[in-house]
Amino acid sequence: MNNLVVFDLDGVITSEDAYWDAAGLTLHELCYSPRYWNLDKSTLGADGQYQPVMTAEESRSTSRATFPEGEILALKARAINSNWDTCYVMACFHLIDLLSGVPDLTDLLPLQPWDFEWLASFRKQGIQKKRLPGSKQLFNWS
């Protein structure tokens, strides 16, 4: 057998953590940035702007608070393994959870969560998150 050297430049072979961090941070920005759902204004900076994380430690803690490891593992157990697929699934689950609290969905149909006017109408509904991402497990995966 020949000697083999593997360069794992992005860490995927040895760890997927950075990919899960990216998925969690994407979900966090979707939930809390004023450009998107803006669920909790207390997460904004003093200037009212969304403040992206600045350090690796902030990245990991923010990501896992938004997209807990248990939810990652539950999705992986169902063969949803790509970080972007899991992020999409969780964004859909959170959107469904938010919409379930809207008494009259008429103004929000058809759903167009990519559209700025739709987002403005969405925010005007006084969307209340029953569970902000990361506060407890959102779904019973059993």
* Alpha-carbon span 36 to 116, nearest angstrom: 8
* Domain annotation covers residue 82: yes
* Domain annotation covers residue 32: yes
For the chain, the domain total comes to 1
What is the domain range of residue 49? Answer: 17-124
* Domain annotation covers residue 141: no
Single out the residue of 79, 57, 83 nearest to residue 69, CA to CA: 83
Predicted local distance difference test score (pLDDT) of residue 90: 92
Predicted local distance difference test score (pLDDT) of residue 26: 94
Q: Could you report the per-residue pLDDT of 23-57, keeping only the tens digit for each? A: 999 999 998 888 888 888 777 788 888 888 899 89
Predicted local distance difference test score (pLDDT) of residue 134: 53
Six-digit token string for 108 = 């929000």
* Domain annotation covers residue 2: no
Residue 128: partners with Cβ closer than 8 Å, 6 or more residues away: 101
pLDDT along the chain (142 residues), means of 10: 74 78 93 87 82 90 92 91 90 88 88 90 73 56 58
Predicted local distance difference test score (pLDDT) of residue 24: 94
Single out the residue of 50, 56, 60, 84 nearest to residue 134, CA to CA: 60
* Domain annotation covers residue 133: no
* Domain annotation covers residue 137: no
Alpha helices (runs of H) in the chain, residue ranges in sequence order:
17-32, 56-66, 69-76, 83-99, 116-124
* Domain annotation covers residue 109: yes
* Domain annotation covers residue 5: no
Q: Tell me which long-range contacts 135-139 makes (C-beta under 8 A, separation of at least 24).
A: 137/68, 137/70, 137/71, 138/71, 138/93, 138/94, 138/97, 139/71, 139/74, 139/93
Q: What is the pTM of this model?
A: 0.79
Residue 34's CB is within 10 A of a number of other CB atoms, namely 13
